[in-house]
Amino acid sequence: MTDHIGPEPGDPSPANSPGSEEELAALLEEITSGLENLDRHHGTLLERVDGLDGSLSQILTYLKTRPGGPWFWKELEGLEAAELWGQLFEWVAWLERRYVQYLGQDRYGLRPCWYKHPLVVEHLTALMVSHAGAYRTAQSAPSAALFEWHERSLWPTLERIRDFWNKCTTHQHVDLAEKAHPLTFDEEDFETFVTDGTGIEGTLAATRAAEQKAKAGRAKKPAEKRTEPFVDQESGEIT
């Protein structure tokens, strides 16, 4: 029987034997670094996907929005109107806590019945939308947007709605019917005005005719006689 010479099966050969501990440590560090890079890239990709998802949601919301925007009371009905009422109620409550309670009631005060006053509702809605535009728009650099909201939106609006309360107080609402003076529009007369040439086109034609008449009158007007003295350049005589 011949003795087996050489490495036994499964024994590591010199070519396949692992390297030194330093080499193994370097390899492990390289693998760890690669995994960390993958983890960072994975997080970045997730952020980008979330951003795209948010943008897509905004686009879909925009496409579903009624003409005039989601704050156009005239076009809102049912759930859309109820949703805006909820947003406005919460925002006005915040406005009261943050600003109005510290101001004089005579000049800037709100009334608990504000939602029963159409003019106040429209103005507060516009103020809320303006606030969202100033504070919720992504900005990476300082700007005057917040200051402009206070100076051009907040204070003028609070002063303006002071005239809309009728006789309402902080404890009692007075029906607006006492102050309202609705107009009755004659639709037939309006349609006639628009369609028979007396509307916009008729007004423009009359204006053009008046301008041409005035121009013709100026052209026919005789030149005024010269009353200033004339000095002869050669003789120096004044005539």
Residues 206-238 have pLDDT tens digits of 777 778 887 777 766 665 555 555 556 666 665
The CA-based angle 123-126-127, given to 5 degrees, is 85
Q: Are 58 and 64 in contact (CB under 8 A)?
A: no
Vertex 101 angle, CA 170 and 136, to 5°? 120
Give residue-wise pLDDT tens across range 117-172. Answer: 999 999 999 999 999 999 887 777 888 989 999 999 999 999 999 888 877 777 78
Residue 15 confidence (pLDDT): 45
CA 92 – CA 53 distance, rounded (Å): 31
What was the pLDDT predicted at 204? Answer: 66
CB burial of 149-169 (b: ≥16 within 10 Å; e: otherwise) equals beeebbeebbeebeebbbebe
Q: Mind listing the pLDDT tens digit for each residue in 181-191?
A: 777 888 887 77
Q: Indicate the domain borders of the chain.
A: 22-64, 73-176
| Percent of the chain whose predicted confidence (pLDDT) is above 70 | 68
d(CA 99, CA 189): 48
d(CA 97, CA 119): 22
pLDDT for residue 152: 95
Paired residues of 231 in beta bridges: 238
> What letter represents residue 90's amino acid?
E
Please report which residue ranges of the chain form alpha helices under DSSP H: 21-64, 78-98, 105-108, 118-135, 145-149, 155-161, 187-195, 200-220
Q: Which residues contact 99 (CB under 8 A, 6 or more apart)?
A: 108, 154
Is residue 24 classed exposed, middle or buried when 0-12, 13-18 and 19+ CB atoms within 10 A define those classes?
exposed
Q: Nearest-CA neighbor of 113 among 181, 182, 177, 164?
A: 164
Which residue in 87, 180, 188, 99 sits closest to 128, CA to CA?
87
In this prediction, residues 41-50 reach a mean pLDDT of: 72
Alpha carbon distance 111, 47 (integer Å): 45
Weakest mean pLDDT among 31-40, 56-65, 116-125 = 56-65
Give the pLDDT of residue 75: 83
Q: How many CB atoms lie within 10 A of CB 141?
A: 4
pLDDT bin (cut points 50, 70, 90) of residue 51 is low
